[in-house]
Amino acid sequence: MRPAEWITLIAQFAHLSQRQRQAGIALLHGNAPHDATVALLENVAQPRLACPACGSAHLHRHRHRHGHAHGLQRYRCVPCGRTFNALTGTPLARLRHKSLWLDYADCLLASDSVRKAARQLGVHRNTSFRWRHRFLSLAKTDRPHGLHGIAEADELYLLASEKGSRNMTRPPRRRGGHAHKRGISNEQVCILVARDRTGQTLDFVTGKGALTKAQLHHCLLPVIDKDVLLVTDGHAAYRAFAREAGISHVAVNLRAGIRVQGAAHVQNVNAYHSRLRQWLGPFHGVATRYLSNYLGWRWILDARRIRSPETLLKATLGAFPHLMVT
């Protein structure tokens, strides 16, 4: 390499991300990013290696190996004869460019847009979009099993979006537009958020229109303790739900300007709403059919249980960090 080219190359180092610098160091040591990703995938798969077709853990001997394909070890099941690898039956099955997956996980943790992540990795925007929802399909399920003590619940409404749909049920509009009807209507999607005082949070996309008592029974009843104190605003559906479920309930009259009644308030859940709305803003309206993925993505960032690309990649395969104490 000519000296001028070397100077130009060195000058570009300052613009590298932390992940890119680590990948460069690994490459200089003879460890390609592809090899590091494959090693991580194999390590996650080994402890729970079983045939995805029949569930058997009885694999052919000789270290349970049956060749390689696409850089991954192949395994053959003895009972059914099927072959599989560490990604078979996972959200990452049949995806390419494994060497870029850790970099893409970095983009998710940075809340990068589809196009920004695509530019950084040098892939097509459709690939970036596909990876986003594959990575989140299992990782979003890392949630608390229930809420305890004092639990706050409140709902927020987002404009229903058919973004990306080929067969729309309404005339198109600008992304992030406004509803034509005043108040709450079937133009809006309801998101129910429940959060206890330890910060454990659960959210549910209940559907279009106002929240109902039946939806509360379906969403909240399985995940709250019988001795929980449920704190909400004055919505009639919460009162009816609490009475029928036999749980303690306090309604804070926000319309009268009363925000705190002793220990009863909904400020924690409203603060979560605020962070969620602010975070969703740069996406300019997310498709309703993918809304649960975005809610899971927001929880990943807010809970800070997943802080590294490696941990997120493991969660994508269903290997989560230590379970929350609930």
pLDDT, tens digit (0-9, with 9 covering 90-100), for 196-237? 999 999 999 999 999 999 999 999 999 999 999 999 998 999
Asked whether residue 321 is assigned to any structural domain, the reply reads no
- pLDDT digit string (tens) for 44-63? 888 888 898 898 988 886 65
255, pLDDT greater than 70: no
* Mean pLDDT across the chain: 86
CA 294, CA 181: separation in Å to the nearest integer?
26
Residue 284 gets the label, from left (phi > 0), alpha (psi -120 to 50) or beta, of left
Q: Give the ranges where the chain is alpha helix by DSSP (H).
A: 3-11, 18-28, 33-45, 101-109, 114-121, 125-139, 213-219, 236-245, 267-280, 291-303, 309-316
pLDDT of residue 297: 96
Is 142:301 a contact under the CB 8 Å cutoff? Answer: no
Count CB atoms within 10 A of the CB of residue 81: 11
Asked whether residue 24 is assigned to any structural domain, the reply reads no
b vs e for 45-67, b when ≥16 Cβ sit within 10 Å of the residue's Cβ?
A: beeeebbeeeeeeebeeeebebe
Q: What is the CATH number of the domain that holds 248?
A: 3.30.420
Asked whether residue 195 is assigned to any structural domain, the reply reads yes
- pLDDT digit string (tens) for 155-182? 999 988 888 777 777 777 676 667 777 8
Q: How confident is the model at residue 325 (pLDDT cuts 50, 70, 90)?
A: very low
Asked whether residue 296 is assigned to any structural domain, the reply reads no
pTM value is 0.83
Number of domains in the chain: 1
CA 32, CA 38: separation in Å to the nearest integer?
10
Is 287:168 a contact under the CB 8 Å cutoff? Answer: no
Nearest to 72 by CA among 106, 103, 49: 49
Cβ neighbours for 141, distance < 8 A, ≥ 6 positions apart: 296
* Full domain range(s) for residue 183: 150-286
pLDDT of residue 254: 67
Asked whether residue 164 is assigned to any structural domain, the reply reads yes
pLDDT of residue 12: 81
> For 308, what's the count of Cα atoms within 13 Å in the CB-facing half-sphere?
8
238 by Cβ neighbours in 10 Å (0-12 / 13-18 / 19+) ranks as: buried
Is 125:114 a contact under the CB 8 Å cutoff? Answer: yes
pLDDT of residue 192: 97
Q: How confident is the model at residue 34 (pLDDT cuts 50, 70, 90)?
A: low
Q: How confident is the model at residue 183 (pLDDT cuts 50, 70, 90)?
A: confident
294 vs 60, more confident: 294
Record the tokens describing residue 92, joined without a space.
């990452």
- pLDDT digit string (tens) for 79-138? 998 999 989 989 999 999 998 999 999 999 999 999 999 999 999 999 999 999 999 999
Residue 105 gets the label, from left (phi > 0), alpha (psi -120 to 50) or beta, of alpha
DSSP result, 131-166: HHHHHHHHHTT---S-B-SEEEEEEEEEE---TT-S
64 vs 251, more confident: 251
Asked whether residue 84 is assigned to any structural domain, the reply reads no
Q: How confident is the model at residue 326 (pLDDT cuts 50, 70, 90)?
A: very low
Asked whether residue 39 is assigned to any structural domain, the reply reads no
pLDDT of residue 279: 96
Asked whether residue 212 is assigned to any structural domain, the reply reads yes
